[in-house]
Structure 1
Amino acid sequence: MKLGLRLLLGFFLITGIAAFFVLRVFAAEIRPSVARVVEDMLVDTANILAELVEDDLAAMPAGGTLETGHFAQRVREYAERPVDARIWGMSKQSLDYRVYVTDARGRVVLDTGARPGGVAIGQDYSRWRDVALTLKGQYGARATRQVEVDGQPSVLYVAAPIRQGARLIGVLTVAKPMSTVQKFIDRAEREILVKGLWLLGLSLLVGVLVTAWIVWSVRRLRDFAQHVELGQRGGERVQAPELSGELGDLARAMEAMRDRLEDHEHVEHMVRALTHELKSPLAAIGGAAELLHDDLPAHDRHAFATQVQDQAARMQRLVERLLELSKLEHRRRLEHLAVVDLAPCVETALAQARGRAEQREVSLQWQQREQAAVLGEPELMHLAMSNLLDNAIDFSWPGGRIEVSVRREGAQALFTVRDHGPGVPDYALARLGERFYSTPRPAVAGEPPRKGTGLGLAIVRQVMQLHGGDVVWAPAGPGLAVTLRWPLATPSAPST
């Protein structure tokens, strides 16, 4: 099961259980809470009415009733009173109190007759909990389910003592059917259910969004880890994703680990390649040194001494270029950016290369020159152009020419160097720019074909990667055309 599905199911389970218990607690508390509120109101009402009926009950003859008394008349008028009240959006059109009074022995002397079929006058209510407890000087209340009426919730009875001075002369009970407030309870339960479902839905939506964010972050981290693995195998390098919290810390730690692994691999590869490249010149120097110990003719001695010098110079160039390439490969960004006009920069590189070109009897010529400004680091751009020109000189025949051009093409600035030498075989084009990969140079004045360090074009490619550009190799027939492509500088970019 995938991580996102696990998180989502876990969140649904936790939210569902929490919502179930919360809604159940709310629903279970509604009825008791309403009953407590109604009972509290009935206590106040019963005590008020007990004070009002005191005079009538004290004046009632033994064995009599209160049906014709002033209090009984007012209670009947209350029951017949029309009412139409809007209570929180619900209509109330009836008065629901039932009031009955008992004497000191528990005999009913007044009853408003809330139940169908008559009233309870003359009956003995001394066994009912509300009357019995009140006659004993305690708080009397009861709840009785009126099944014969409607099978709905119980009727709540609350009694209050009727006293004349310190003497208990009777009990007044106020009753209210809970069915009259049932509609408020039902509405509250419905609202709680609906709002609970909304809350559950919103919680699940938040859960989906949080899960999606976590999965998105983890997948970015996974993709970065896969790119790191591909990078170790020669794939494209990518930057660590910008994440927050612990995932961000993990991404940065993985990037640091990748840098350390790449450094280790880079050093290991460099050592192997350098060892391989140094074997030939060291063997040549060793052989020449052994022969120089013998008694040789002056001509042979001079030849072997020259060989030692040439191989030493080759090793020096190899080490210098290797150091330059190593520094470039460890750079992550450009440091001294400026807007550079390509044509003057190329002119400077041509001026430095003319001395070597004249030694090889190679001419340097402008083929096309346009104004093209790019954003870059001037020293690195000059390094790339110089290496490219040196490579073209090495691959040119004596008496040949090298053509350079600077032009604009769309949103790019292009610098092209084309020689008229033997060119590069098709199978070797894809490997140009690799470290230590080189093809033999043309022979000069009867000398055997020479092989370069294989680092010049690697330096060129690395410089272009830092500048966000690229290198294009194309057979020119004869020769090879190499084009460096930069993005054109924007007008707002800083200039030198």
Structure 2
Amino acid sequence: MSLSIRIFLVYLVFVGLSGYFILNTVVEEIKPGVRQSTEETLVDTANLLAEILREPVKNQTLQNSDFPQILAAYGRRKLQANIWGIDKTVVNHRIYVTDKKGIVILDSAHKALGQDYSHWNDVYLTLHGKYGARSTAEIPDDVASSVMYIGAPIMDGDDIIGVVSVAKPNRSMQPFIDRSRNRLALLGGIIITIGLLAGILFSWWLTAELRRLRNYALAVSAGERAVLPEQKIASGELNQLANALESMRIELDGKAYIEQYVQTLAHELKSPLAGIHAAAELLQSPMSEEQRERFINNIAVESVRMQQLIERLLNLALVEQQQALHETKAVAIKSLWNELVEAQSARMHQHNISCVNDIAEDATLTGEVFLLRQAFANLLENALDFTPKNGRIRIFSERQNGKLKITIENEGEPIPEFAFARLTERFYSLPRPSTGKKSTGLGLNFVQEVASLHKGELQLRNTEGGVEASLIF
């Protein structure tokens, strides 16, 4: 799947989910919003009628007044109102009045006169000095038939002498709710469509320059004579990336650069080859089946390690240029050192060298396992090179001011003072006591680089009777 498609899919999911939740939230708020506005209007109407009806209710002349005829005429009115595209032809209000006991004394619908309405919330709550409102379905279990009732007290001084209730069917509000929802859905669909089209253009624009860089990188990897795209890369970051790629290509083309990493590869293969050679020599002598199986396993393990070594060190140049780690995870330091010591067990057995792993069980480090393994292996190999027969090596860890210090200490000759300043230089090496030969001088340089990538440092110092190498993270 191309990058542009992946960017668009992420954008599509984001826009789709955002649009859905926003539209759904707004649509769900339309219905209660319309009903709240209607309720507010009913409150005003009920209170206006309460003031108009005060004297007739107080004087008990309501039935003999003109109000019954007025309400009847009100209910029969034919309307020709067009409200935002919706025709309104009939009056939907129902108005009824109760006395202070809750008995209906006036009803515009002419169906509740004389009935006791004191148990309905709009009347009951109003008679008790509270806000009286209720919503009741005219047809049981049919939510669409619900009617909203708002009551207002008819006052005589501080006394409540009756209640006037104004009712409105919720179905009369449904056309306005449906209209708002439909218009919102249409507008939302248009906005989302425009957003998706913008996403397509954005994805194409973003990946167009990346495609030019990709083609350039593929040409370089194929060994072709490639130059940077003639078109100027508009994006600042991508322009920097293009220049970095060009610089890396020029450096990789240099023979000195390639030779340097060939030297590193050869140096890093030394350790597993030495382990295999020592195990092979021991296998030629009589031994128990258990020992034989262990040394054969060492050969297999070191062979796999060599294969991994070749593959990973060929990519080391990229790691150096980026100055960044990949595939980091929490590494159990003690078990990693146990594997390295086991891999060198044949060599230690050959020279009767003892090795003690005193690293704390809970010592962990977040980093790249492969690089840490190679750095630790280099330190162990150096310690073995400079430890005399029947000597001792100790590996331990300690916490210092929130930092983890991993140390390998070996018995042997101290490091000459003149050599300390150059020990981590490339190709600088001291002669091995047992053979007088020097190594390629890349081991400690590699260790220092790995420490730097993990934001740590390498420390070397002489101790009483030996040398101590520490990595501090």
Matched, 1:89 2:80: no
Matched, 1:122 2:118: no
Displacement of 1:67: 3.9
Compared with structure 1, are the counterparts of its residues 149 and 81 closer, same or farther at alpha carbon in structure 2 (3 Å cutoff)? farther
Q: Report the equivalent of 1:141.
A: 133
Q: Report the equivalent of 2:239.
A: 248
Q: Distance in 2 between matches of 1:179 and 1:186?
A: 11
Q: Report the equivalent of 1:17.
A: 17
- 1:119 alignment partner AA: K
- 1:256 alignment partner AA: S
Q: Distance in 1 between matches of 2:76 and 2:36?
A: 27
Give RMSD over aligned pairs: 2.5
Q: Report the equivalent of 1:203.
A: 195
Displacement of 1:217: 2.1
Q: CA-to-partner distance for each residue in 1:255-299, whole Å, 9 max, x for gaps?
A: 33334445x35999xxxxxxxxxxxxxxxxxxxxxxxxxxxxxxx
Displacement of 1:193: 1.3
Compared with structure 1, are the counterparts of its residues 54 and 257 closer, same or farther at alpha carbon in structure 2 (3 Å cutoff)? same
Q: Distance in 2 between matches of 1:22 and 1:209?
A: 24
Matched, 1:224 2:216: yes
Q: Distance in 1 between matches of 2:141 and 2:72?
A: 22
Contact 2:219 2:225 in 1 (8 A): yes
Residues 456-495 of structure 1 correspond to what in structure 2 (within 5 A)? Answer: none
Contact 1:243 1:251 in 2 (8 A): no
Compared with structure 1, are the counterparts of its residues 236 and 160 closer, same or farther at alpha carbon in structure 2 (3 Å cutoff)? closer
Matched, 1:98 2:94: yes
- 1:80 alignment partner AA: R
Q: Report the equivalent of 1:473.
A: none
Displacement of 1:25: 0.6
- 1:129 alignment partner AA: N
Displacement of 1:163: 0.8
Q: Report the equivalent of 1:308.
A: none
- 1:21 alignment partner AA: F
Displacement of 1:153: 4.7
Contact 2:209 2:233 in 1 (8 A): no
Q: CA-to-partner distance for each residue in 1:170-194, whole Å, 9 max, x for gaps?
A: 0000001111111010011111111
Compared with structure 1, are the counterparts of its residues 126 and 251 closer, same or farther at alpha carbon in structure 2 (3 Å cutoff)? same
Q: Distance in 1 between matches of 2:234 and 2:197?
A: 22
Compared with structure 1, are the counterparts of its residues 12 and 238 closer, same or farther at alpha carbon in structure 2 (3 Å cutoff)? closer
Q: CA-to-partner distance for each residue in 1:123-175, whole Å, 9 max, x for gaps?
A: 00000000000000001001112226986252111000001122211000000
Q: Report the equivalent of 1:484.
A: none
Q: Report the equivalent of 1:30.
A: 30
- 1:235 alignment partner AA: R
- 1:95 alignment partner AA: V
Residues 36-47 of structure 1 correspond to what in structure 2 (within 5 A)? Answer: 36-47=36-47
Matched, 1:110 2:100: no
- 2:151 alignment partner AA: A
Displacement of 1:249: 2.0
Q: Distance in 1 between matches of 2:34 and 2:7?
A: 40
Q: Report the equivalent of 1:57.
A: 57
- 1:101 alignment partner AA: V
Contact 2:30 2:181 in 1 (8 A): yes
Residues 184-203 of structure 1 correspond to what in structure 2 (within 5 A)? Answer: 184-203=176-195
Structure 2 residue runs without a partner (length 5+): 259-473
Contact 1:52 1:71 in 2 (8 A): no
Q: Distance in 2 between matches of 1:163 and 1:204?
A: 61
Matched, 1:257 2:248: yes
Q: Distance in 2 between matches of 1:105 and 1:234?
A: 101
Contact 2:134 2:149 in 1 (8 A): yes
Displacement of 1:122: 0.3
SS in 1 for 2:90: coil
Displacement of 1:72: 2.4
Give every structure 1 segment of 4 or more consecutive aligned residues whose post-TM-superposition deviation is greater than 6 Å. none
Displacement of 1:27: 1.5
SS in 1 for 2:151: strand
Q: Report the equivalent of 1:235.
A: 225
Compared with structure 1, are the counterparts of its residues 238 and 247 closer, same or farther at alpha carbon in structure 2 (3 Å cutoff)? closer
SS in 1 for 2:138: coil
Q: Report the equivalent of 1:72.
A: 68
Compared with structure 1, are the counterparts of its residues 234 and 174 closer, same or farther at alpha carbon in structure 2 (3 Å cutoff)? closer
Displacement of 1:3: 2.0
- 2:67 alignment partner AA: F
- 2:214 alignment partner AA: R
Larger Rg: 1
Q: Distance in 2 between matches of 1:153 and 1:25?
A: 25
Q: Distance in 1 between matches of 2:148 and 2:257?
A: 91
If the length of structure 1 is used for normalisation, what is the TM-score? 0.49
Q: Report the equivalent of 2:281.
A: none
Q: Report the equivalent of 1:171.
A: 163
Q: CA-to-partner distance for each residue in 1:375-408, whole Å, 9 max, x for gaps?
A: xxxxxxxxxxxxxxxxxxxxxxxxxxxxxxxxxx
Compared with structure 1, are the counterparts of its residues 245 and 156 closer, same or farther at alpha carbon in structure 2 (3 Å cutoff)? farther
SS in 2 for 1:50: helix
Q: Report the equivalent of 1:154.
A: 146
Q: CA-to-partner distance for each residue in 1:58-100, whole Å, 9 max, x for gaps?
A: 1216xxxx34422222222222233211211221111111100
Contact 2:123 2:163 in 1 (8 A): yes
Q: Distance in 1 between matches of 2:175 and 2:137?
A: 17
Q: CA-to-partner distance for each residue in 1:344-392, whole Å, 9 max, x for gaps?
A: xxxxxxxxxxxxxxxxxxxxxxxxxxxxxxxxxxxxxxxxxxxxxxxxx
Contact 1:56 1:70 in 2 (8 A): no
Compared with structure 1, are the counterparts of its residues 11 and 267 closer, same or farther at alpha carbon in structure 2 (3 Å cutoff)? closer
Q: Which moved more, 1:141-150 or 1:71-80?
A: 141-150
SS in 1 for 2:78: coil
Q: CA-to-partner distance for each residue in 1:228-270, whole Å, 9 max, x for gaps?
A: 445xx452534465231322221122233334445x35999xx
Q: Distance in 2 between matches of 1:254 and 1:69?
A: 96
Contact 2:104 2:114 in 1 (8 A): yes
Number of equivalences: 258
Q: Distance in 2 between matches of 1:245 and 1:127?
A: 75
Q: Distance in 2 between matches of 1:267 and 1:9?
A: 42
Compared with structure 1, are the counterparts of its residues 3 and 148 closer, same or farther at alpha carbon in structure 2 (3 Å cutoff)? same
- 1:8 alignment partner AA: F
Q: Distance in 2 between matches of 1:234 and 1:126?
A: 95
SS in 1 for 2:131: coil
Q: Distance in 2 between matches of 1:132 and 1:234?
A: 92
Q: Distance in 2 between matches of 1:54 and 1:248?
A: 83
Displacement of 1:206: 1.5
Q: Distance in 2 between matches of 1:221 and 1:234?
A: 15
Compared with structure 1, are the counterparts of its residues 153 and 249 closer, same or farther at alpha carbon in structure 2 (3 Å cutoff)? farther
